[in-house]
Amino acid sequence: MRDVAVIGIGCTKFGEHWNRSFRDIFVEAGALALEDAQLSGEKIDAMYVGNMSAGRFVEQEHIGALIADYAGMATRHIPSTRVEAACASGGLAFRQAVIAVASGMEDIVVAAGVEKMTDVEPGASTDALTGAADREWEGFVGATFPGLYAMIAQDYMHKYHMTREQLAQVAVKNHYNGARNPIAQFPQEITIDTVLKSAMVAEPLRLFDCSPITDGAAAVIVAPLDRAREFTDTPIKVLATAQASDTIALHDRRDISTMDATVAAGQRAFKMAKLTHKDINMVEVHDCFSIAEICAIEDLGFCKKGTAGKFTADGETALGGSIPVNTSGGLKSCGHPVGATGIKQVYEIVQQLRGTAGKRQVDNAKIGMTQNVGGTGATVAVHILGRV
Amino acid sequence: MTVARFWRKIPQRYNLIGTKCETCGRHFFPPRTFCPDCRREGKIVDHKFSGKGTIVTYTVIQTAPDQFASHGPYVLAIIKLDEGPQMTTQIICDPKEAKIGMKVKSVFRRIATDGESGIIHYGTKFVPVE
């Protein structure tokens, strides 16, 4: 297997892009990544695009071809593949691009993610997202995504006695980080009171425990490490790529408040990189709901099961803490265009490792990690990236 | 959900007909046609569940999907059936009453309606055991 490096990154602002289409935002992200790598489009050998549900959100399928076409690649006939694993689509697209280069099959590959969620009414987007769970045996009886994660939170709080304030601190911390990120959808700082006084969505989760509906696209370009310096002075090496699956329905899990797929993907990634959690300087985790970040940092091994609430309240996961989590603002503050999120996580970690993360820069960042979840944990992708 | 898609699962949804692997004795609800433990050695047969179970975790849905909007806040739970498997269901009770560990039993109820002229989906919900 060849070593693989990220040589270029690009991302649109996350938010509600009423005046721009699915293809507009994708082209912007791709162009930014190419410009960042100082690469012309003719050099690209293949593309992988993470997208959850363009069919439901913009009534468009066949996304691989559409995107290659509007990225100006139609006459070059490059292979372009859509990758779908609900909210983990982006993480899997990145993994496919890394595998393509590592195998020697391709050299310069684009991994992208895109979702345009605001072209349908909120009810329709919520319904589309429910397809990430078990439609026949969860969605059918009235389960919503906030509802499923609320049941994780209820189980967790019952077992480990985390307080509601500790859980709220996840959102407070992520909004603090997001307020320092120019692409964030909601770059406003909030307080614990903001969370606790927001509308109840599904007990115990309130509006400010939930990530928003977002339009956005992100793209990164990967290449063989030994060619990376042709394109950039700061190549970022992919130290590990891992993926795991679990039961589609939450009710079939071994333990409701442990994501075994996160545990498995995390262990595989650490093994591949020959590292432990102590070597990681910052991590982007999938905080689609505040409780998801609590489970993620435990399941990846950054703190013991049942202690993440206190760990968060003590500031360990904040900028300047022992393991900064979601310096981008996470899905909560930065936004969650589902198919793009996994790529945006890589985009953030690459900026941290290059030392270009501005006011949210982690000091002396050498190794970073991403964890991207599909559904309630039926798919998890974990990546570790490092400075060369 | 189209008529055919709903109709083909009527025994399961109305009467809690799941499956059981005769090789290892494991029960499945929602039903599975392939035993993850015995794999090709498994022998799957239908099994009617007793409808008794215990709440493992629950929530109160305040922001409901469109087809459930008329229900008002409702209790959604994962319950463990006495035979072993866990399922997601609504619990018919005062939201303040719901508790982890509460014993429940199945009842036949309307689940949702596909718009004003669409089919009515019936199925199983659970109520607290007195």
> What is the distance between the alpha carbons of residues A242 and A370, in angstroms, rounded to a whole number?
10
Select from B65, B78, B87 the Cβ nearest to the Cβ of A127: B65
The 10s digit of each residue's pLDDT in B44-92 is 999 999 999 999 999 999 988 888 887 789 999 999 999 999 999 999 9
Select from A130, A251, A256 the Cβ nearest to the Cβ of B87: A251
pLDDT of residue A354: 98
ipTM: 0.97
Question: A60, exposed or middle or buried, with CB in 10 Å at 0-12, 13-18, 19+?
Answer: middle
Q: What does the DSSP 8-state code read for residue A215?
A: E
A129-132 long-range contacts, Cβ below 8 Å, gap at least 24?
A129/A53, A129/A338, A130/B65, A131/A53, A131/A56, A131/A86, A132/A52, A132/A86, A132/A87, A132/A374, A132/A375, A132/A376, A132/A378
Would the CB atoms of B61 and A147 count as touching at under 8 Å? yes
pLDDT of residue B113: 86
pLDDT of residue B89: 98
- CA torsion A219-A225-A241-A46 (nearest 10°) is 50
Residue with structure tokens 């959690």? A277
Nearest CA in chain A to B77: A151
The whole-model pTM stands at 0.98
- Catalytic-residue membership of A87: yes
Select from B66, B85, B90 the Cβ nearest to the Cβ of A123: B66
On chain A, the residues whose CB falls within 8 A of the CB of B63 are 144, 146, 199, 201-202
Query: Is B130's pLDDT higher than 80?
Result: no
pLDDT of residue B114: 82
Q: Is B65 on the interface with A (CB under 8 A)?
A: yes
- 3 state DSSP class of B36: coil
Query: Are B31 and B17 contacting, i.e. CB atoms less than 8 angstroms apart?
Result: yes
> What is the distance between the alpha carbons of residues B107 and B88, in angstroms, rounded to a whole number?
14
pLDDT of residue B115: 80
Would the CB atoms of A200 and B62 count as touching at under 8 Å? yes
CA distance A217 to chain B (A): 27
Q: Is B122 on the interface with A (CB under 8 A)?
A: no
- 3 state DSSP class of B91: strand
> What is the distance between the alpha carbons of residues A163 and A294, in angstroms, rounded to a whole number?
12
Tokens of B54: 């215990």
> What is the distance between the alpha carbons of residues A265 and A381, in angstroms, rounded to a whole number?
6
Distances (CA, A) of A189 to A182, A333, A351: 14, 9, 22
pLDDT of residue A2: 98
CB pairs under 8 A between A and B: 98
- 3 state DSSP class of A235: coil
Query: Is B118's pLDDT higher than 90?
Result: no
- Catalytic-residue membership of A295: no
Q: Would you put residue A87 in left (φ > 0), alpha (ψ -120 to 50) or beta?
A: alpha
Catalytic residue among A11, A17, A87, A383: A87
> What is the distance between the alpha carbons of residues A308 and A305, in angstroms, rounded to a whole number?
7
Closest to A122 measured CA to CA, from A141, A144, A90: A144
Residue with structure tokens 């909601």? A186
In SS3 terms, A121-143 reads as CHHHHHHHHHCCCCCCCCHHHCC
In SS3 terms, A252-289 reads as HCCCCCCCHHHHHHHHHHHHHHCCCHHHCCEEECCCCE
pLDDT of residue A303: 98
pLDDT of residue A24: 97
Mutate to test the interface with A, among B8, B78, B119, B126 (most CBs of A within 10 A): B78
B:6-35 residues touching chain A, CB 8 A cutoff: 9, 13, 30
A229-246 b/e with 16+ CB inside 10 Å = b? Answer: eebbebbbbbbbbbbbbb
pLDDT of residue A330: 98
Query: Are B3 and B119 contacting, i.e. CB atoms less than 8 angstroms apart?
Result: yes
Catalytic residue among A17, A286, A336, A383: A336
Q: Over chain A (388 residues), what is each successive 10-residue block's mean pLDDT?
A: 98 97 97 96 96 97 97 95 98 98 98 97 91 96 97 98 98 98 98 98 98 98 97 97 98 98 98 98 98 98 98 98 98 98 98 98 98 98 98
Query: Are A119 and A30 contacting, i.e. CB atoms less than 8 angstroms apart?
Result: no
- 3 state DSSP class of A8: strand
pLDDT of residue A52: 98
